[in-house]
Chain A
Amino acid sequence: MFIVNFLSAFGRYLMLMGRTFSIPERWRMFLKQYIKELTQLGVDSIGIVLLISFFIGAVICIQIKLNIASPWMPNFTTGYTTREIMVLEFSSSIMCLILSGKVGSNIASEIGTMRVTQQIDALEIMGVNSASFLILPKIMGLMTMIPCLVVFSMAAGFVGAYASALVGIVSVDDLTIGLQHDFRQWFIWMSMIKSFVFAFIIASVSSFYGYTVEGGSFDVGKASTDAVVRSSMLILFADIFLTPLLS
């Protein structure tokens, strides 16, 4: 039964994506929606990304210095490990998991409310491809903004690490040496590629749950929760496959 339900949902998801990825009827309207989504999904998330990344960067640095570093390890270990954690995993995968909660629930509840209040029916009756009109700008907007958010997250994490250095937990020189030690540019690209895939998962899965909702406000709430849970699970699965593939 689980497999039948899964395949049925996956089939409906593919059909919805088929309708979504069609040439916009009016580029003028698409661009208007796209810019709106850049702001709503991306720019409005900058604050939370910077805040979380700053504190996590600081805490990682403190944890490594106080609990892991030992006289047998070089002094730059704290900065080096902080950088690798932020660049390789936190700023892409964990940040996308956090964003799937914020952005995913926003997308699912917005589209779900439009469904239950017949706004999507109104679009269809006007002859508008509602899937393409509503979902495509969200997918494109999030895929544009998430790699930028990942870079902001990395930067905020390093600033957080320096903040912990300023309060005397680690020396600024050791941290700087560690952050620069054996730096590989590809890791930044890898993180951005991963986040690009995660952005598609968050936007498309959340849109699917919102678009296919039936009923009332209770069902919109349920769809919103399902969207966050499923997109988070898919991000974790995708991470497992993408990490060895890109390393």
Chain B
Amino acid sequence: MIEIKHLYKSFEDREVLKDINAVFEEGKTNLIIGQSGSGKTVLMKNIVGLFEPDKGEILYDGRDFVKMTKREKVLIRREMGMIFQSAALFDSMSVLENVMFPLDMFSDKNEADRIKRAKFCLDRVNLAGAEEKFPGEISGGMQKRVAIARAIALNPKYLFCDEPNSGLDPKTSLVIDDLIHSITEEYKMTTIINTHDMNSVMGIGENIIYICEGRMEWQGNKDQIMTSTNERLNSFIFASDLFRKVKEANS
């Protein structure tokens, strides 16, 4: 479980995150939603330690990440996996080498076992047979799946996904969402996904946090979101014609 308490972050005189409080539960897909520029990515970068918050606590199973020493942060990062918006695969390495990278760095297994584990992870994301290809030779959806395989190679406790469906068609987005959701349940991970894709929200949103202008406006799940009375949240989710019609049909 990851808990955020009274988190603030500003860049020069611009306050981006204002008193964020949230709980991300274990074994669930936790979604952070909000408009572009609302502070979702900044929040995630604070959680994973790419940014230092101005104030507040980030608790990983009760351990405050902000107060950890450099060494403790390095160790906890080995329990994290992250899927970036751009997949962030190492383009000088093949698909297999990308997935093997965290194993090569941190696993004490022998080479045969590392290859076996990497191939298992690739198989898990339905990419068996693509081992020798390079990131530049595969599609965007496949790159995201390689990123998922790399993220789960070390059996992480925490999985972070920054807009995993960005640039993908709706069908491939569903595949990626289902994959992240099923992996989360299978490995009992605490998964946090940054998204503004309402299909993801309705598909896998077990715990949803809505951020608006740097503040946490609403928290709930996919069943509660359609009936919420929060005006800002409604203006965000019903900006889509499709969701407006779904709501009208439901009511």
B88, A119: Cβ atoms closer than 8 Å: yes
In the complex, which residues 145-204 of chain A have their Cβ closer than 8 Å to any Cβ of chain B?
Answer: none
Interface string of A117-129 (1 = CB under 8 A from B): 1110110111111
Q: Is A44 an interface residue (CB 8 A)?
A: no
Please report the C-alpha to C-alpha distance between residue A29 and residue B73 in the assembled complex, in whole angstroms: 21
B104 / chain A contacts, CB cutoff of 8 Å: 26, 28-29
Contact B50 A126 (CB under 8 A): no
Tell yes or no: B140 within 8 A of A by CB: no
Contact with A along B89-125 (1 / 0, CB 8 A): 1110000000001101110000000000000000000
Docked CA distance A27–B88 (Å): 24
Kindly supply a per-residue 1/0 record for chain A positions 89-126, scoring 1 wherever the CB is within 8 Å of any chain B CB and 0 otherwise: 00000000000000000000000001001110110111
Chain B residues with CB under 8 A of A125: 48-50, 77, 80, 82, 160
Residues of chain A within 8 A (CB-CB) of B102 are: 126
Query: Would A122 and B105 count as touching, CB distance under 8 A?
Result: no
Instruction: Tell me if A126 and B105 are in contact (CB < 8 A).
Output: yes
User: Taking A119-B90, A121-B50 as contacts, is the C-beta distance between A127 and B84 under 8 angstroms?
Assistant: no
The answer to whether the Cβ of B245 comes within 8 Å of any Cβ in the partner chain is: no
Q: Tell me if A127 and B74 are in contact (CB < 8 A).
A: yes
Known contacts: A121-B50, A122-B82. The answer to whether A128 contacts B105 by CB under 8 A is yes
Among B91, B104, B105, residue most surrounded by chain A Cβ atoms (within 10 Å): B105
Least distance between A16 CB and chain B CB atoms (Å): 15
* Nearest CB of B to A88, in Å: 38
Any A CB within 8 A of the CB of B247 = no
Contact with B along A37-79 (1 / 0, CB 8 A): 0000000000000000000000000000000000000000000
B80: chain A residues at CB < 8 Å are 125-127
The residue from B76, B86, B105, B106 contacting A118, defined by CB atoms under 8 A apart:
B86
B75 within 8 A of A: yes
B78 at the A interface (CB under 8 A): yes
Q: Which of A25, A114, A118, A128 contacts B84 (CB 8 A)?
A: A118
Q: Interface residue count for A (Cβ, 8 Å)?
A: 16
A26 to B73, CA, bound (A): 18
Closest Cβ–Cβ distance, residue A110 to chain B (whole Å): 8
Chain B residues 28 to 77 lying within 8 A of chain A, measured CB to CB, are 48-50, 73-77
- Report Cα–Cα, A128/B77, bound state, in Å: 9
| Chain B: CB-nearest residue to A36 | B92
- State whether A26 and B105 are in contact (beta carbons under 8 Å apart), knowing that A118-B84, A118-B88, A119-B88 are contacts in the complex: yes
Cβ of A128: which chain B residues have Cβ within 8 Å of it?
A: 105
Whether A121 contacts B88 in the complex (CB less than 8 A), given A26-B105, A29-B104, A29-B105, comes out as yes
CB distance from B168 to the nearest CB of A (A): 17
List residues of chain B with CB within 8 A of the CB of A126. Answer: 77-78, 80, 101-102, 105-106
Give Cα distance in the complex from A121 to B147, angstroms: 13
Q: Evaluate contact between B74 and A122: CB separation under 8 angstroms.
A: no
Which chain A residues border B50 with CB–CB below 8 Å? 121, 124-125
User: In the bound complex, do residue B88 and residue A122 qualify as a contact, i.e. CB atoms below 8 Å apart?
Assistant: yes
Q: B91 to chain A: which residues have CB within 8 Å?
A: 117, 119
Complex Cα distance, B90 from A39, in Å, reads 19
**Are B105 and A121 in touch, CB under 8 angstroms?**
no
Bound-complex Cα distance A118 to B41 (A):
13
CA distance A161 to B77 in the complex (A): 58
A129 to B78, CA, bound (A): 12
Chain B hits for A129, CB < 8 A:
74
Which residues of the other chain, B, contact A127 by a CB distance below 8 angstroms? 73-78, 80, 106
> In the complex, what residue of chain B is closest to A116 when comparing beta carbons?
B86
Q: Which 8 A-B pairs have the closest CB atoms?
A: A127-B77, A118-B88, A122-B88, A127-B78, A127-B74, A125-B82, A118-B84, A119-B88
Interchain residue pairs with CB less than 8 A apart (21): A26-B105, A28-B104, A114-B90, A117-B86, A118-B85, A119-B88, A119-B89, A119-B90, A119-B91, A122-B88, A124-B77, A125-B77, A125-B82, A125-B160, A126-B78, A126-B102, A127-B74, A127-B77, A127-B78, A127-B80, A129-B74
A sample of 15 more A-B contacts (CB under 8 A), given A118-B86, A126-B78, is A26-B104, A29-B104, A119-B89, A121-B50, A122-B84, A124-B50, A124-B77, A125-B50, A125-B77, A125-B82, A126-B101, A126-B102, A126-B105, A127-B106, A129-B74
